[in-house]
Amino acid sequence: MATNQLRQYITEARKSGMSNQDIIEALTKSGWHVHDIIDIVVDFPPKETGAAVISVRNVSKHFGKVKALDGVTLDIPSGQVIALLGPNGAGKTTLVRILGTLSQPTEGTVTIAGLDVVKDAQELRAIIGLTGQYAAVDEILSGRENLDMVGQLYHLPIEEACKRTIELLKEFDLEDAADRSVKTYSGGMRRRLDLAASLVIRPKVLFLDEPTTGLDPRSRLVMWNVIRDLVQGGTTVLLTTQYMEEADQLAHHIFVIDHGKIIAQGTSDELKRQVGGDVLELHLAEHKQVSQAAELIKSFGSAEPRFDSNTGIVTMSVQGGATVLVDVVRQLDTANVKISDVILRRPSLDDVFIKLTGHSAQ
Amino acid sequence: MANLKTTFSDIGVMTKRNLLHYRRLPQLIIFSFIQPVMFVLLFAYVFGGAIETSSGKYINFLLPGILVQTILFGAMMTGVSLANDITKGMIDRFRSLPMARSAVLAGRTITEMIRNIFVVVLMTAVGYLIGFRIEHGWGNFGFAVLFIALVGFAFSWVSAAIGLWVKNVETAQSAGFIWVFPLAFASSIFVPIETMSGGVRTFAEHNPITYMVNTVRALSLGTPVGNNIWYALIWVGAILAVFIPVAVHIYRKNT
Ligand SMILES: Nc1ncnc2c1ncn2[C@@H]1O[C@H](COP(=O)(O)OP(=O)(O)OP(=O)(O)O)[C@@H](O)[C@H]1O
Ligand SMILES: [Mg+2]
C-alpha cells in the first residue's frame, strides 16, 4: 500500500467509525510497522507541520506534601535533542517518568505525537523508548537474551527480534559479551545494553534519564555520538542531566528545572546571555582570604562575588572585561592578598544556573 | 492493541524469562527443596514415635502435609521475586513496553506453579526413600499434585500483592513469614488437630490449610475426604477472586 492508498484507507476506516487504535491494529496486522504509520494515522487529516511533538500542559505531580512538579508547561519540537537540566531533586526523573507513561500526573495533560500519556498509554508505548536513571536490565540473563525478550515484548516476530538484537549488539559494541550473563558486565556495558533495549523498535521519541552519569569520559563520548546519530535519523531525544557541559554539547534547546518548576529555557547561548558580561575567576594563594578578597572587589562587579574557602576561588560577574581585571588585581595587591591565577571568561551554564537558582547544579 | 494472542505471547515470554532464572541459578530451587526435606526428616525421625495418627505410619500422614507446606513456603518466592524486579528497575522496563499489563504477574505466578509441581514430585521421591507409600492409586495422587499446584497458584497471588506493595526484598520476605507461619503450624500439616487444644485448635479447624492438607491426604491415602475438598476449593476461589484484582491494581497504580 502506498501512502496515498494508506490515506484513503484511513479516511474510509474513520468514516466507518473505527478508532485510531483499531486502525493501527488493522494496519499492523496487514504488515505495516507501527513506527511508519502512527504519524499518518494520528495526524489525519494532516495538519500544518512544525507542531510540537511533545506538549506538556500545566503538569503537577504531588507525592503527599512534596510537589515534585509544580505547573510545568513546555513544548518540544520534533527531531531535536532537548536537555532538562536541574540539580538533585529538581523533578527531572518525575517528569521523564510521566512522559514515559510510568507515572501519571496529579494535574495537567501531556501529549506525545498527539497521543495522551494517560489515555493512550498503550499505543504510545509502541513508539517511545525510555532509559531510566538506573540500568533496567535482567542481570541473570545474557545481553542477547535481554534484547530478544524486549523485542518479543514489542511483538516483533521472533526472527525479526533476533535480527534486531544482533544489529544492536554490534552497534553498541557488545558482541563479545553477548552471551555472557549481564552480572559480569561493567557499569558502562550495562548502560549501553539498557539504551539498546530502548532502541529495539527505533522509537520516534526517546527519553534518557541521566544517560551518562557514572560513565568514564570515553564512554560518555560514545554515548553522545549515539545520541547525535539517533537525532540525525529523525528521533526526538529528551535527556536529563546535571552536567552543564553535556547540555552545552548536545542540546538544541535547554529547559532549566528547579523545585519542580521550569525557571528558564533557550539555547545554550541564549541562556548564557542572561548572565551578561564576563566572569572573573580569582584563585587565591591563601584559601582563607576568600571572604576578605570578595569584600575588597565587590564594588567592581555587576553582581555579588561568590567564594569558596575550600578551593580558594572567588568568582564575580563583571562588565568591561580587561579594565576591571586590572583594577581588581591592583586593589588586591594593595591589600596584600596574593593571587595564584586569574581567569576572565565567558559565562558557563553553571554560572547561568547559579544566577537563576542561587545554588550550584552539582 | 492488546488482544488475546499477544497477551498469551507476552505471558509466554515472561514465563520463559523466569524459568531461565531458575535454570541459571538452580540454587533457588535447591533451597526451596532442602528446607522441606529437613522438615520431613526432622518430624519423621524426631517426633515420629511420639505422634499418634489414625492413618497408620506417621510418614504417610506427614508427607501430604509437607507437600502443602512446601508450596505455602514456596509462595513467598513470588513476592520476593517481584520486589526484586521492582528494585532492579525491571518492572519499570516492562511497564514502558506495549505488553499486556497482566503478563508480568501471570508469567510470575505460572512460573511458580511449574516450580511447585517440580518440587512436589521431587519431595514425593524423597518421601518414597524413607517409607512413604501412596495408598489410593497413582491416578488420585496425580489429582493431588494438580490440586497442590492450584493451591500454590492461589497463594502466589497473595504473595504477589504483598511483594508489589512493600517493594523491597527483605520486607517481602519477613512479611511473608507473618502470614505463612501461623497458617502452616496451626494446621493439620504436622499433627492431627485432635491433639491441639483451646484457641489454637479452633483456629486450626477453620484454617484453609487444614482443609487443603486433609484433601491431599485423602487423595493419597484413601482416608475419607468429607467436605474438606469443597471448603478447600472455595478458599482457593476466594483467594484468587480477591488477590488477583488486588495485585493487578497495586501493579498498575503503585509501582
Ligand atoms: N515516589 C516518590 N515518593 C515521594 N517523593 C518522591 C517520589 N519520587 C520523587 N519524589 C520527590 O520528588 C522530588 C523530585 O524528585 P526527582 O527524582 O524527580 O528529582 P531528580 O531531578 O530526578 O533528581 P536526581 O538528580 O537526584 O535524580 C524530590 O524531592 C523527591 O524526593
Ligand atoms: Mg533523577
Domain boundaries, chain B: 2-254
Rounded CA-CA distance B92/A156 in Å is 20
Q: Which is more confident, B152 or A319?
A: B152
What DSSP state is assigned to residue B45? I
Give how far Cα B111 sits from Cα of B106, B204, B224, Å.
Answer: 8, 30, 32
Task: Kindly tell me if the per-residue pLDDT of B40 is higher than 50.
Answer: yes
Q: Which residue has the cell 536513571?
A: A133
Q: Which is more confident, B253 or B72?
A: B72
* pLDDT band with cut points at 50, 70 and 90 for residue A291: confident
**Three cell numbers at A352?**
547561568
Residues in chain A: 362
Rounded CA-CA distance A162/A146 in Å is 11
**What pLDDT score does A145 carry?**
97
**What pLDDT score does A360 carry?**
61
Contact check, Cβ <8 Å, A136/B25: no
> Which of these ranges, A114-118, A317-321, B19-23, B58-62, has the smallest mean pLDDT?
A317-321
Give how far Cα A22 sits from Cα of A28, A61, A126, Å.
Answer: 10, 32, 14
Whether ligand 1 lies within 6 angstroms of the CB of A85 is answered as no
* pLDDT mean over A185-209: 92
Atom of ligand 1 nearest to the CA of A257: 21
pLDDT one-digit tens code per residue, A123-160: 899 999 999 888 899 999 999 999 999 999 999 999 99
**What pLDDT score does A50 carry?**
47
**Three cell numbers at B192?**
492431627
**What pLDDT score does B1 carry?**
46
Nearest to B1 among A24, A101, A150 (CB): A24
Q: Which is more confident, A30 or B120?
A: B120
**What pLDDT score does B255 carry?**
46
DSSP 3-state of B186:
coil
> Which of these ranges, B12-16, B71-75, B150-154, has the smallest mean pLDDT?
B71-75
**What pLDDT score does A148 carry?**
97
Task: Kindly tell me if the per-residue pLDDT of B253 is higher than 50.
Answer: yes
Contact check, Cβ <8 Å, A154/B92: no
Q: In this complex, is the C-beta atom of B95 within 8 Å of any C-beta atom belonging to chain A?
A: yes
pLDDT one-digit tens code per residue, A293-344: 888 888 888 788 888 888 889 888 888 777 888 888 888 888 888 888 888 8
- Chain B residues in contact with A137 (beta carbon < 8 A): 93
pLDDT one-digit tens code per residue, B173-230: 888 888 888 898 888 888 888 888 888 899 988 999 999 999 999 999 988 888 999 9
Concatenated DSSP letters of A161-220: HHHHHHHHHHHTT-TTTTTSBGGGS-HHHHHHHHHHHHTTT--SEEEEESTTTT--HHHH
Nearest to B98 among A102, A145, A154 (CB): A154
Whether ligand 1 lies within 6 angstroms of the CB of A92 is answered as yes
Residue nearest to atom 19 of ligand 1 (CA): A89
pLDDT one-digit tens code per residue, B222-250: 888 889 999 999 999 999 999 999 999 99
Q: What angle do CA B49, B70, B189 make, to 5 degrees?
A: 40
- Chain A residues in contact with B88 (beta carbon < 8 A): 136, 138-139
Residue of chain B nearest A135, judged by CA positions: B89
**What pLDDT score does A51 carry?**
55
Q: Is A16 exposed, middle or buried (0-12, 13-18, 19+ CB in 10 A)?
A: exposed
Is the peptide bond between B224 and the residue preceding it cis, with omega within 30 degrees of 0? no
| Strand bridging mode A278-284 / A339-345 | antiparallel
**What pLDDT score does B162 carry?**
95
**What pLDDT score does A144 carry?**
97
> Which of these ranges, A273-287, B104-118, B119-133, has the smallest mean pLDDT?
A273-287
**What pLDDT score does B153 carry?**
96
**What pLDDT score does A68 carry?**
94
Burial profile B40-60: b = 16 or more Cβ within 10 angstroms, e = fewer: beebbeeebeebebeeebbbb
- Chain A residues in contact with B20 (beta carbon < 8 A): 140-141, 145
Question: Dmax over Cα atoms in chain A, in whole Å?
Answer: 87
| Strand order from edge to edge, sheet including A107-112 | A66-77, A52-63, A107-112, A115-116
Give how far Cα A62 sits from Cα of A55, A70, A108, A259, Å.
Answer: 20, 8, 12, 12
Q: What angle do CA A146, A147, A151 make, to 5 degrees?
A: 120
- Percent of chain A exceeding pLDDT 70 equals 95
CB B98 within 8 A of CB B10: no
> Which of these ranges, A60-69, A100-109, A332-341, B139-148, has the smallest mean pLDDT?
A332-341
CB B164 within 8 A of CB B251: yes
- CA-wise closest residue to B67 among B206, B193, B214: B214
CB A112 within 8 A of CB A126: no
**What pLDDT score does A48 carry?**
37
Domains in chain A, start-ordered, CATH in brackets?
Answer: 3-42 (no CATH), 52-271 (3.40.50.300), 276-346 (3.30.70.100)
How does the average pLDDT of chain B come out, rounded? 90
Rounded CA-CA distance A142/B168 in Å is 24
Q: In this complex, is the C-beta atom of B89 within 8 Å of any C-beta atom belonging to chain A?
A: yes
pLDDT one-digit tens code per residue, B49-90: 666 666 578 888 899 999 999 999 988 899 999 999 999 999
